[in-house]
Amino acid sequence: MIEHAEIAAALPTVDDVRRAGERIAPHVRRTPVLEAEVAGRRVTLKLEHLQLTGTFKIRGALNALLSRPETDQVVTASGGNHGLGVATAARVLGVRATIYVPRTVPPDKERRIAATGATLVRHGRRYAEAEQAARAYAEQNGLRYLHAYDDVDVVAGQGTVGLEIAEQAPGCDTVAVAVGGGGLIAGVSLGVGARAVVGVEPQGCAGLHAAVAAGEPVDSPVDSVAASALGASRIGQVPYATLRTTSLRLALVDDAQIIAATHRLWEDFRLAVEPAGATAFAAWLAGQVPGDNPCVIVCGANADWTLNGGTR
Ligand SMILES: Cc1ncc(COP(=O)(O)O)c(C=O)c1O
């Protein structure tokens, strides 16, 4: 648990995001932007789902590991995109990774994490049990536990998506971002400078809305088609404190809108994305993203697109 005074002293800055960009550049893709049009409305799509591992998560993980080069072993808990990002970043940098996953993790995700060479530990039925065990293991062995979003280096790393948007789409005035624990939106809000930022959440996983209403991060329900990626039960303290220094708009979309947005991205642009990856686009389709020149971050592709699965 991070104390308030520590947070204030350690909030990420735009310089941290710039340094993160320099550090991770040799190891990540600079994902492209697509100038698109839907029903006569123009939008720029930042295709971050084409990032290595299928999401931006590798950016934060790489920055965290490169910021402390003495780290030779890292521990986290995640059967999803963060776990894959940390495991892949660790492999790239020659760091040993131990990833705790709940026994309920989908076999495909488990296979992809294991393929990086990371040590996979199955523990408990729920994520919270896996996390508790992972933290205990890290503490007992003096190892770094890498949080998925409540970490200054992770936020700075995710912010490099925003830096790229500022460079690739300089005329963009508003950026729409899906929110889980808040690491991506906090970093992006630093990286995009003065542009407006819209945080988009599923109605059933609205931790940032809940935090703003309560004036601090609070627990909130998790129930959405995008929950596997956006289902943090509480916004992180570092992201929340970072976002308080920016002007932020919020938007909510329901599951039907998210699913319709994944279909639209496929039908119109042949972009195959997971529900979380289409959540910000859903808000744009619903007219909830203001601005003359908006940019929507398409942030994840880790759906099962084999013939037996997929979101369609
Ligand atoms: C595809 C995707 N989009 C968005 C998010 C939300 O990121 P954050 O938890 O940093 O808000 C996640 C988190 O896992 C994700 O996997």
Whether 103 maps to a domain, the answer reads yes
Pocket test for ligand 1, best of 153, 155, 230, 265 (most atoms within 8 A of CB): 230
Domain boundary among 91, 116, 145: 145
Pocket test for ligand 1, best of 57, 161, 222, 242 (most atoms within 8 A of CB): 57
Indicate which CATH number applies to the domain containing 46.
3.40.50.1100
Same domain, 44 and 132: no
180-218: pLDDT as tens digits:
999 999 999 999 999 999 999 999 999 999 999 999 999
Pick out the chain residues at pLDDT < 70: 1-9, 304-312
Whether 13 maps to a domain, the answer reads yes
Same domain, 22 and 159: yes
Full residue range of the structural domain in which residue 20 is found: 4-55+152-298
Same domain, 127 and 171: no
Ligand 1 binding residues, C-beta < 6 A: 55, 81-82, 148-149, 158, 178-185, 229-230, 232, 274, 276-277, 299-300
Same domain, 221 and 92: no
Whether 304 maps to a domain, the answer reads no
100-130: pLDDT as tens digits:
999 988 888 899 999 999 999 999 988 889 9
Domain boundary among 99, 128, 145: 145
Whether 136 maps to a domain, the answer reads yes
Ligand 1 center–CA 291 separation, angstroms: 24
Same domain, 202 and 242: yes
pTM score of the predicted model: 0.95
HEC profile of the chain:
CCCHHHHHHCCCCHHHHHHHHHHHHHHCCCCCEEEEEECCEEEEEEEHHHCHHHECHHHHHHHHHHHCCCCCEEEEECCCHHHHHHHHHHHHHCCEEEEEECCCCCHHHHHHHHCCCCEEEECCCCHHHHHHHHHHHHHHCCCEECCCCCCHHHHHHHCHHHHHHHHHCCCCCEEEEECCCCHHHHHHHHHCCCCEEEEEEECCCCHHHHHHHHCCCCCCCCCCCCHHHHCCCCCCHHHHHHHCCCCEEEEEECHHHHHHHHHHHHHHHCCCCCHHHHHHHHHHHCCCCCCCCEEEEECECCCCCCCCCCCC
